[in-house]
Chains A and B, each alone.
Chain A
Amino acid sequence: MIEVEHLSKQFVVRRGRFRRERVTVDAVKDISFRVERGELLGYLGPNGAGKSTTIKMLTGILVPSSGRVSVAGLDPSKRRIEVAKRIGAMFGQRVQLWWDLPLIDSFELLRHIYKVPAERYRTSLARFREVLDLDPFLHTPVRQLSLGQRIRGELTASMLHEPELLFLDEPTIGLDVVAKQRVRDFLIEINRERGVTVLLTTHDLGDIERLCKRLLVIDHGSLIWDGGIDELRERYGAERTLIVDLEEPEPPLQIEGARVEKVDGPRQWLRFRGPAADLTARVAAATRLVDLQLSEPDIEEIVRRIYSAGRRDA
């Protein structure tokens, strides 16, 4: 669905007030990746890392400095209009709806901009009205909507023409927990039910954990991770913790492949790497086990590690 090869983008900026010098900044440096149809993947990186620049090159907003981009088999910078028909895009911090018009009017206008047949428009809008619960504010001018309502409107606007591929730039930014959940449910629905390929950038690791199987991480313009979240956990992630409840208090257990981090009465915390099953078996063999639970390192921790590792390499 998306193919990116050796993609780079440089900006020339002028610095200095009197003696102006031209400085070239690499926003994106030689990145390559592929996205298959039907994937839902996250694109992660700190501010200024090159996330938005990448998305803008994929959607035909910016022309790459070098490298090759193919979206649905087309080059977005050369065939912008054809690409635009097949993709949807939502930028959390931009407004694509008409500010002074009622929400429904924006949908009507978009229907004509994208030339969606009347019948398809009706069925598709009816579904979004239901899934995103748009009815209470469908006739309200956009400027009077709350952020959460507006984002639901924006999501509908970017999906009305039934694109195969949806780009989302920070879709949940500024939303409360309930509104975030609604957006996430919606994304899962369109990905699973309609097979829409979704690429989203976010700062919200909750989005990534709940939505994405695969993750791209960019920092300083370079791709520093492309892979599954589980592999990411294994690689950078830190050890997991097995919390065991024993029949009675014991001194710290001596188990191969694990070390005891903390003891509190009959409960002990064991840090380990590798499969949990083997360790559990060894613990059960060594002592009398009542109960156990496993705690995963949280992704926030992992991402912090990647960023700092990236910094050291650079």
Chain B
Amino acid sequence: MVDSVVLWRRLVGAQVRSQLQYRTSFVLDACSAFLISFIDFLAVLVIFHNTQRLGAWSIREVAFLYAMSSIAFALTDLLVGHFDQFPQKVRDGNFDIMLVRPRGTLFQVIGSDFQLRRLGKALQGVLVLVYAVGSLTIPWDAGRIAMLVVMIPAAIVIFGSVWTIGSCLSFWTTDGGEFTNAFTYGGNFLAQYPIDIFSSWLRRFLAYIVPLAFVCYFPALYILDKPDPLGLPRLLELSSPVVALVSALVAGVVWRFALRHYRSAGG
């Protein structure tokens, strides 16, 4: 495990070094990533220009949700965003190379590409978070601070698991990219809003099937000390880390199963 983390750092380090060689291009890329993601937040502002509240949520509370989800999603994108290109790797057979190396395949896919410029997206989330936390009066205590610290890694694991499971589709379809995007980029969009504004089937889907409600919604209820508008058990507010762990396990099992169906490419 420790050994894998060290190796991951080496793999990523080598790539970052080569990306930083073209400094101007790197800075431009990072800035545009930042600006493009900022347009996302404008969409939220537009909604609140027309209404004061979204369900039981004020604009500051939604900004908090939005910020946490954006940060988590941007960091997930940084770590596993290149899974988008995974179907291509499967189709042209370059995934073969990873199978003849003595390391876990999922680990190798994760370490195979790292685009530091994606950090620009996370910066935008951090700015919104500063605004939200500054304008809300949150009763900070040890539990809430701990939740704030834990929820981001948990959210990354949940998003990452969804991404991984989506990528597994490409072992069968050789191109499931767009379908997966509905759950990854689409999932980020859903996680930015309080789930009580959605209809009940979608809420159930988000809470129990693709667990995006645990990315931000439940942890935010806890931190903001809001009663759940849906009246769900309070225990759910604390269960994000457990849900993250279960998601990761499920993703691991699905990956392992999918791998046995890998057909490689001709040539």
Q: Which A positions have Cβ atoms within 8 angstroms of B? A: 11, 48, 52, 56, 59-63, 80-82, 84-85, 87, 89, 91, 93-96, 98, 100-101, 105, 108-109, 112-114, 141
18 contacts between A and B (CB under 8 A): A52-B267, A56-B96, A56-B264, A59-B100, A60-B100, A61-B96, A81-B102, A82-B102, A84-B101, A95-B94, A95-B97, A100-B15, A101-B18, A105-B18, A108-B14, A109-B14, A112-B6, A112-B10
Complex Cα–Cα for A62 and B15 (A): 29
Name A96's contact: one of B10, B97, B103, B262 (CB within 8 Å).
B97
Are A60 and B99 interface neighbours, CB within 8 A? yes
Are A61 and B99 interface neighbours, CB within 8 A? yes
Asked if B11 CB lies within 8 Å of chain A CBs, one says yes
Task: List residues of B (74-117) whose CB comes within 8 Å of A's CBs.
Answer: 93-94, 96-97, 99-104
Are A62 and B262 interface neighbours, CB within 8 A? yes
Are B260 and A63 interface neighbours, CB within 8 A? yes
Are B14 and A105 interface neighbours, CB within 8 A? yes
Are A62 and B263 interface neighbours, CB within 8 A? yes
Complex Cα–Cα for A95 and B112 (A): 13
Are B99 and A91 interface neighbours, CB within 8 A? no
Are A87 and B14 interface neighbours, CB within 8 A? no
CB neighbours (8 Å) of B264 from chain A are 52, 56, 61-62
What are the interface flags for B1-43 relative to A under an 8 Å C-beta threshold, 1 for contact and 0 otherwise? Answer: 0000011001100110010000000000000000000000000
Asked if B134 CB lies within 8 Å of chain A CBs, one says no
Complex Cα–Cα for A238 and B96 (A): 40
Complex Cα–Cα for A111 and B171 (A): 29
Asked if B231 CB lies within 8 Å of chain A CBs, one says no
Q: Which partner residue on chain B sits nearest A61 by CB separation?
A: B99
CB neighbours (8 Å) of B103 from chain A are 81, 113
Task: List residues of B (240-267) whose CB comes within 8 Å of A's CBs.
Answer: 260, 262-264, 266-267
Are B99 and A80 interface neighbours, CB within 8 A? yes
Closest 3 CB pairs of A and B: A84-B102, A89-B100, A85-B102
Q: Which partner residue on chain B sits nearest A52 by CB separation?
A: B267
CB neighbours (8 Å) of A60 from chain B are 99-100
> What is the size, in residues, of chain B's interface with A at 8 Å between Cβ atoms?
23
CB neighbours (8 Å) of B6 from chain A are 112
CB neighbours (8 Å) of B94 from chain A are 94-95
Q: Which partner residue on chain B sits nearest A85 by CB separation?
A: B102
CB neighbours (8 Å) of A61 from chain B are 96, 99-100, 262, 264
Q: Which partner residue on chain B sits nearest A13 by CB separation?
A: B263
Complex Cα–Cα for A304 and B104 (A): 43
Q: A61-B262, A62-B264, A101-B15 are in contact. Are A94 and B97 (CB under 8 A)?
A: yes
Complex Cα–Cα for A105 and B13 (A): 11
Complex Cα–Cα for A108 and B262 (A): 29
Complex Cα–Cα for A193 and B99 (A): 28
Are B262 and A87 interface neighbours, CB within 8 A? no
CB neighbours (8 Å) of B99 from chain A are 59-61, 80, 84
Q: A81-B102, A113-B101, A113-B102 are in contact. Are A91 and B14 (CB under 8 A)?
A: no
CB neighbours (8 Å) of B93 from chain A are 94
Could you list 13 further interchain pairs (A-B, Cβ under 8 angstroms) beyond the known A11-B263, A81-B102, A94-B96? A52-B266, A52-B267, A56-B264, A60-B100, A61-B96, A84-B102, A94-B97, A95-B97, A98-B15, A101-B14, A113-B7, A114-B101, A141-B18
Complex Cα–Cα for A82 and B103 (A): 9
Q: What's the nearest-Cβ distance from chain B to residue A289, in Å? A: 52
Name B267's contact: one of A93, A95, A96 (CB within 8 Å).
A93
Name A98's contact: one of B14, B96, B104 (CB within 8 Å).
B14
CB neighbours (8 Å) of A89 from chain B are 100
Are A114 and B102 interface neighbours, CB within 8 A? yes
Q: Which partner residue on chain B sits nearest A88 by CB separation?
A: B100
Complex Cα–Cα for A93 and B267 (A): 8
Are B266 and A48 interface neighbours, CB within 8 A? yes
CB neighbours (8 Å) of B14 from chain A are 98, 101, 105, 108-109
Q: What's the nearest-Cβ distance from chain B to residue A284, in Å? A: 53
Complex Cα–Cα for A83 and B59 (A): 57
Complex Cα–Cα for A109 and B97 (A): 14
Q: Which partner residue on chain A sits nearest B93 by CB separation?
A: A94
Q: A61-B100, A84-B101, A94-B94 are in contact. Are A109 and B10 (CB under 8 A)?
A: yes
Complex Cα–Cα for A89 and B93 (A): 14
Complex Cα–Cα for A141 and B15 (A): 12
Q: Which partner residue on chain B sits nearest A89 by CB separation?
A: B100
Are A112 and B15 interface neighbours, CB within 8 A? no
CB neighbours (8 Å) of A48 from chain B are 266
CB neighbours (8 Å) of A52 from chain B are 264, 266-267
Q: Which partner residue on chain A sits nearest B11 by CB separation?
A: A109
Q: What's the nearest-Cβ distance from chain B to residue A8, in Å? A: 15
Q: What's the nearest-Cβ distance from chain A to residue B94, in Å? A: 6
